[in-house]
Amino acid sequence: MVSTLPVEVQSSGNQYLSQRDSGTILSPNQELLPLNARVNHHNSLEIGGCDVTTLVQQFGSPLYILDEQTLRTACQQYRDTFKQYYKGESQVLYASKAWNCLAVCAIVASEGLGIDVVSGGELYTALNAGVSSDKIYLHGNNKSREELILAIESGSTIVVDNWYELKTLVELATTDAAIRMMLRLTPGIECHTHEYIRTGHLDSKFGFDPNDLEEVFAFVSKQPSLNCVGLHAHIGSQIFERQPHRDLAAVMVQWFRDAAKYDLELTELNVGGGLGIKYTESDDPPSIAEWSKAICEVVQAACASLNLPLPKLLCEPGRSLIATACVTAYTIGSAKTIPDIRTYVTIDGGMSDNPRPITYQSVYRAVVANKMSASLTETVTLAGKHCESGDILIKNAQLPKTEPGDILVVMGTGAYNYSMASNYNRLPRPAAVLVANGEANLILQRETYEDIIRQDCLPERLK
């Protein structure tokens, strides 16, 4: 299904809406707003056929608004381009740490994607969303015995990260069936991204060191309780360059060949994810199709050069599937002008619902949903409501004149916003709605004060 964005008349408030012809195929990761975002006749932002201002009136704020069409389009583009460019079998997995909840897992699974999980909680959620266990892959550098047992009992694939975990699996194995697993390796490939989300270089907490490769292969080959089906590597996140992924695929195919020396019949090759998205006008990531084509071509070429059969090719996109599909709506409150320095405009959320600016110095763009056609007359700093000087969502935001009660919309908040949300300052976490065809469905309830103290225990002697 090809998704298109209506042609809009550019004005100051809808500058972030793309002007595209009706037949243009859009790659969601290259857009700032969800694919069907538009300005309606009330000059308000509309997503999925729903007026954002009306959604806030109905569900409150802060509010995560997830556009189903954009998410499904991204899933379809990954799935279909891998089928188009790869001559062997392929499987796209959603890296659900970006946003794991029942509704998101159910949507991506309905599009034929599997799920990459990194904890027992994410695994439990995927299983309860109806995801088939043969399409679930459990990652993590320090999985607990309980998490490993849940994965074994459910029939999920375990991506083994280190010697401790490898030997623990041997201890947990039964005579019923061999444990389906893969080996995660550190490829030693650098990419230009934030140091906290760069995972492929040698100085990383993830994966076996390449120097241990032969010892690992030899150990696994002697364990009848382990069914090692393939190799996994991942080089980082929010990556715009294609060369590191080409290098990764070439290195991994060589490792595939090395495993054959130990009679390991590997059938799956997982090249991870990491494709970036457009957070600002200057960001220029490759499209989903361009990234997929590059990966497929280099794996096929490397296999041909070594005379190896094509493995089942897996990838694990997260951010590029979900980020653009979601926006966060806030209600504007107080303002403070410091002459000759700056004007602070405060919203009713901040670092507890989007910790990325204070954690990674991430940059976002925003619009005022109820004033989409107003002139951009103010440069302001958007501040959160938390008792923290660093709780700044956006510096130097270009906005129309704002007033208390206006609805601010921050774009590209589907990845690592809800999933990293907290109750800092004991703020309840926001609600989330799924919008499609003019209908909004609650997928995450707003927390209450009662929810916040639900796990508190007050000793009798303190009452």
* 216 within 8 A of 161, measured Cβ to Cβ: no
- 342-347 and 179-184 beta bridge pairing: unpaired
What is the spatial distance between Cα 133 and Cα 130, in angstroms, rounded to a whole number? Answer: 9
* 83 within 8 A of 107, measured Cβ to Cβ: no
b/e map 313-345, b = 16+ CB within 10 Å: bbbbbbbbbbbbbbbbbbbbeeeeeeeeeeeeb
What is the spatial distance between Cα 325 and Cα 411, in angstroms, rounded to a whole number? Answer: 9
- Which residues make beta-bridge pairs with 52? none
What is the spatial distance between Cα 293 and Cα 287, in angstroms, rounded to a whole number? Answer: 10
Identify whether 404 is preceded by a cis peptide bond (ω within 30 of 0): no
387: annotated active-site residue: yes
DSSP state letters, 421-444 = ---GGGPPPPEEEEEETTEEEEEE
Give the number of other Cβ atoms within 10 Å of residue 145's Cβ: 12
Tell whether the torsion through CA atoms of 65, 68, 69 and 75 is positive or negative.
positive
DSSP 26: P
Active-site residue among 191, 303, 387, 457? Answer: 387
Q: Which amino acid is at 440?
A: A
Instruction: List the helix and strand counts (H, then E) for the chain.
Output: 12, 20
Residues catalogued as catalytic: 387
